[in-house]
Amino acid sequence: MSLPPYEKFDCRSEGLALRWSKWLKCLKHIFDGYQIDETQSKRRYALLLTYGGAELNDIVESLPTITAIETGDNPSQELKTALTNHFNPQSNTKILRYPFRHKRQTPGTKIHDFYAELRQLAAPCCFNDPKDGCLSKKLREKGLTTPLDLTNLLKHARTLEMTEEYCKQLPQHPQQVNKIHHRSTPRPALTKHRQGAQQNYHHSKQVTPQHKNAGTVELVGHMLKAKTNAQLSI
């Protein structure tokens, strides 16, 4: 049974510890898919070296514990541990957590994209559920005041995003403002009849509180509908 191709590990680029962790995780998927379990440790060991490439093999040969690894009971696991320590010799959690702590959600970034970025930064930090630095004030308040797990918090965040996007697409109804054009020459005095007619005209053009609230009520209604639909679609 032939195994699928897999890219060799780049031993020179930056971020060795994180990339090594991801590379091992993808390699494990291959092992699991082809039913190469832990009981076949020697085979996994050989495949790790085969997939790893020439540069990784050079590093393996330079390991001071390589002899003990090759003759051990679980060479595959021992080799992975030795290489992990080699690529990440000074694992200081405070240093590793600094980029995570200072990561913030930028405007326009979806909450799920932000969460994926946090997951990458948190991989070497020994975190459980990274969810810090969120841009939405409503989402932060929801997470602090309501006992939600991460899954439900992400669902709530998606609902807020969909509501905001829907509201941005609503047609705007700006209030009509009556402009008064001042003439350079004084206007002639108005008769009582004309004054009364003009007052009635201006009164009819005024926006009543009922009309002022109409746009607000419509907006709130759309928001509630959008939020309800978003919750049902999750």
- The one-digit pLDDT tens for each residue of the chain (234 residues) are 688 999 999 998 888 888 999 999 999 999 999 999 999 999 999 999 999 999 999 999 999 999 999 999 999 999 999 999 888 765 556 666 777 778 888 888 887 788 788 777 777 666 544 444 445 555 555 555 566 666 776 776 777 777 777 677 766 655 544 444 444 455 555 555 555 555 554 444 444 444 443 443 344 444 444 443 444 444
**pTM listed for this prediction:** 0.44
Which runs of consecutive H residues, i.e. helices, occur in 71-208? 75-87, 93-101, 111-122, 137-145, 150-168, 192-205
How many other CB atoms are there within 10 angstroms of residue 35's CB atom? 8
Distance (Å) of CA 179 to CA 45, 56, 188, 202: 82, 77, 20, 12
Residues 43, 46, 49, 53, CA torsion sign: negative
pLDDT (0 to 100) of residue 209: 42
Determine the distance from the C-alpha atom of residue 120 to the mean position of all C-alpha atoms in its chain, rounded to a whole number: 11
Determine the distance from the C-alpha atom of residue 126 to the mean position of all C-alpha atoms in its chain, rounded to a whole number: 19
What is the C-alpha to C-alpha distance for residues 230 and 161, in angstroms, rounded to an integer?
Answer: 9
